[in-house]
Each structure stands twice: as C-alpha cells, then as structure tokens.
Amino acid sequence: MAPSTSHTGGRGRAAGPQIRSEDFTRFERARILGARALQISLGAPLLVETPSGLIDPVEIAELEFGAGVIPITVRRTPKED
C-alpha cells in the first residue's frame, strides 16, 4: 500500500507523506495540542463531536488529535548525516 499524501492547502507545493499521530515527537505533539487548544479557547469551530459537559480546550484538542483531524502541518528539515 502506498503512503497517503496530505493536501497542498492551495499553496501549490508538492504534497509529502502524511504523518500519523504516533509518528510525532513529544515536542511536536505538545506544540500541536497547545496551538489547537488556544484556537478552540478563542472560539474556533470544533472538528469532532464532543461528549456533553466537555468544555476543556486541551481535552477537546486531544480528542481531535486522536481522530487525526487537526489541520496543522509539521514541517521537518531533512537530517544531515
């Protein structure tokens, strides 16, 4: 099975392989969750159905991260050997 590719977001760049949530480093994961929690706390629309009574932006961001629906791109530089 060929790796799936992410969309270019209308920027005209070539799409690279999509990274699964378990492939992020702990630092990337923390940055993504923090950024998304901030967006949610400022009124951004939710991307998943949340259980009733769940209002904590960090917990909602974790749900979205687990579902793989957060629209945030991580750019990595190639390792130099």
Nearest to 33 by CA among 2, 50, 57: 57
The Cα angle at residue 28 between residues 44 and 16, in degrees rounded to 5? 90
Which CATH architecture is the domain 21-47+54-67 placed in? Alpha-Beta Complex (3.90)
Separation between Cα atoms, residue 16 and residue 6, nearest integer Å? 6
Tokens of 71: 């629209």
> Would you call 2 exposed, middle or buried from its count of C-beta atoms within 10 A (0-12, 13-18, 19+)?
exposed
Tens digits of per-residue pLDDT, 14-70?
556 666 667 899 999 999 999 999 999 999 999 999 999 999 999 999 999 999 999
Crossing angle (nearest 10°) for helices 57-67 and 26-41: 120
For residue 27, the model assigns a pLDDT of: 95
